[in-house]
Amino acid sequence: MRVLRRARRLYGASPSHLFVLAACFALVVYAVSHLVENPSFTRMVSWFVVAVIAHDLVLFPGYALGDRLLTAGSTVLRRVRWRLPFSPVNHLRVPILGSGLLLLLFFPGIIEQGSVWYRAATGQTQEPFSQRWLLITAVMFGASALVYALRVGIAYWPETKAGLARLKKKIGAALGRRDPGRE
């Protein structure tokens, strides 16, 4: 037991973590050793390196900035007399992430790249890809907005008659009436 504690303190994680990491590296070495013989290995490696660099230098700063702006906008809404019971940030992050991943996955079809080969292989055109992507994006944002509206509605739901009376007074005060319950 002392040896395991000492190993954990020196390594910084449990020995099982080290074992799984070593197994992953062994799997990578095995896969690379079989791919080296492939004539397109250098092309695969160069695409991988370019993808990693493009993600780290272009995409990550872009969506980190977008998330920072989204969070800042939510903070501004809280300061300006909007007393929301829940932050809308995650209700925007999820459909944005889903839409972005679908765009990344189906980008060649959306911009109709390779339409000749697609038509030859399937007998169909790539026209519906962009409309379907937009439709799925709209459905994701609509569903997220509906879930957020339900959460806010449930949070403000008056549970008692007193709560309903307070709600009527607030509505009446907002409309400029003294006692909206007597009309």
Residue holding tokens 């307070």?
166
**Rg (alpha carbons) of the chain, rounded to whole number:** 27
**Structural domains in the chain (count):** 2
The answer to whether residue 122 sits within a structural domain is yes
pTM passes above 0.75: no
**Which is more confident, 12 or 49?**
49
The answer to whether residue 140 sits within a structural domain is yes
Residue holding tokens 């007393």?
83
Dihedral angle sign, alpha carbons of residues 146, 147, 150, 152: negative
Please give the pLDDT value at position 45: 86
The answer to whether residue 173 sits within a structural domain is no
C-alpha–C-alpha distance, residues 4 and 10, integer Å? 10
User: Which phi and psi angles does 6 have, rounded to 5°?
Assistant: -65, -40
Reported confidence tier of residue 36, pLDDT bands at 50, 70, 90: confident
Give me the domain span that covers residue 97.
90-155
The answer to whether residue 127 sits within a structural domain is yes
C-alpha–C-alpha distance, residues 172 and 7, integer Å? 68
**Going by C-beta distance under 8 Å and a sequence separation of 6 or more, which residues neighbour residue 147?**
91
C-alpha–C-alpha distance, residues 170 and 183, integer Å? 15
Is the CB of residue 129 less than 8 Å from the CB of residue 112?
yes
**Going by C-beta distance under 8 Å and a sequence separation of 6 or more, which residues neighbour residue 35?**
41, 44
- Cite the DSSP H helix spans in the chain: 2-11, 15-35, 41-54, 60-79, 89-110, 115-122, 127-155, 161-175
Q: Would you state the structure tokens that stand for residue 116, as one six-digit string?
A: 């000749």
pLDDT for 39 beyond 50: yes
Q: Would you state the structure tokens that stand for residue 118, as one six-digit string?
A: 């697609």
Neighbours of 145 (CB within 10 A): 14
The answer to whether residue 96 sits within a structural domain is yes
The answer to whether residue 19 sits within a structural domain is yes
The answer to whether residue 46 sits within a structural domain is no
120-143 pLDDT, tens per residue?
A: 888 888 889 999 999 999 999 999
The answer to whether residue 8 sits within a structural domain is yes
44-86 pLDDT, tens per residue?
A: 889 889 999 988 998 899 989 999 998 888 777 766 656 667 7
